[in-house]
Amino acid sequence: MTQKSPTPIDLEVGKRIRLRRILLGLTQQQLAAKIGVSFQQVQKYERGLNRVSASRMVPIAAALGVTPAWLMQSDTGAPAGIGPVADDPLMDTDNLLHLQSLLRLPPAQQASVRALVNTMAGG
């Protein structure tokens, strides 16, 4: 018996599940409870280790407030696996957490932080 490797589509669907979950501030445990699986199963979906079946994708999409089609699209609108999103900085957990922190600041402080970062980046 051979172990199947995740396909680019499995990896991308998992990344989009993870992205949306983090943007909503949900833990893997909370998402798991919403869709009736273990948090380990959510981990496997997010890593692309387990494929998300159509019958499971519908409740996942509903729990995340997106359509199943959104979970299967690349950023270009092409079907998942066609356009890579791995290089997308918004797919990085640390970047998402920094963005969430920034958005919790009052607007004036957000502007100050953006100006500081732009200055430090030479922009």
Write out the residue range of the structural domain in which residue 102 sits. Answer: 92-123
Looking at the structure of the chain, the number of domains it has is: 2
**45 part of a folded domain:** yes
**26 part of a folded domain:** yes
Contact in structure between 79 and 73 (CB atoms under 8 Å): yes
- CATH code, domain carrying 47: 1.10.260.40
pLDDT tens-digit profile of 56-114?
999 999 999 999 988 887 555 555 544 445 556 666 777 777 888 888 889 999 899 98
Contact in structure between 104 and 33 (CB atoms under 8 Å): no
Give the model's pLDDT for residue 59.
96
The first and second tokens of residue 91, run together, are 């797919």
